[in-house]
Amino acid sequence: MNKIIFRIVETEAELQQCFAVRHSVFVEEQRIFFETDQDEFDKNAIHIAAIDTNTGKVVSTVRCHEQESGIWYGARLAVAKEFRTHPSLIGVKLCKIAEKTVADRGAKRFLAYIQPKNVRFFERLNWQKVDQPVTHFGSIHQLMEASLFGMKKKTEYYTTRKVQTTNVQG
């Protein structure tokens, strides 16, 4: 079985592979976008990739961007069709890594517009619905929010412990 690693995108080549996965899912398969799903948020976003170690290719991606101070959005979670049933639970791990990534950067809230067919998936990850469904990119989506409470608490504990250790040593 292919081993999958997860990391923040490091190179332009990896970013282009993320865009290719997104294009195959959102333009070709789901037809949400006509030509491209890329937008103004991609430039300053944090892109996270799942990479097949056998081939070195990106097989899944998600992006996170700060829309306003402390308010982050996750978007464009895409898993290549042939990896959707991979035993490493790629989508779950990408979401958890995204949550930790934004929590580590001081997020107060982490939101995402979710297609109705994926709401249950996010609820199982402890995301909560925010208000009623809305039209987003021409179709109904549910705004949802991640619970960063546990992430922030762990991050704050780690940061506090690290500072205390540093002060004791130095």
Taking the CA atoms of residue 22, residue 41, residue 17 and residue 142 in that order, the dihedral angle to the nearest 10 degrees is -30
Phi-psi region of 56 (alpha: psi -120 to 50; beta: other; left: phi over 0): left
Q: Band of the pLDDT at 149, cuts 50, 70, 90?
A: confident
* Domain chopping of the chain, boundaries: 4-169
- pLDDT tens digits, one per residue of 61-103: 999 999 999 999 999 999 999 999 888 899 999 999 999 999 9
- pTM, full prediction: 0.85
Tokens 């990850």 map to which residue? 125
How far apart CA 48 and CA 17 sit, in angstroms, is 11
- pLDDT tens digits, one per residue of 107-135: 999 999 999 999 999 999 999 999 999 99
Residue 33 has what DSSP assignment?
S
Q: Which CATH architecture has domain 4-169?
A: 3-Layer(aba) Sandwich (3.40)
17 contacts: CB under 8 Å, gap ≥ 6: 49, 57, 58
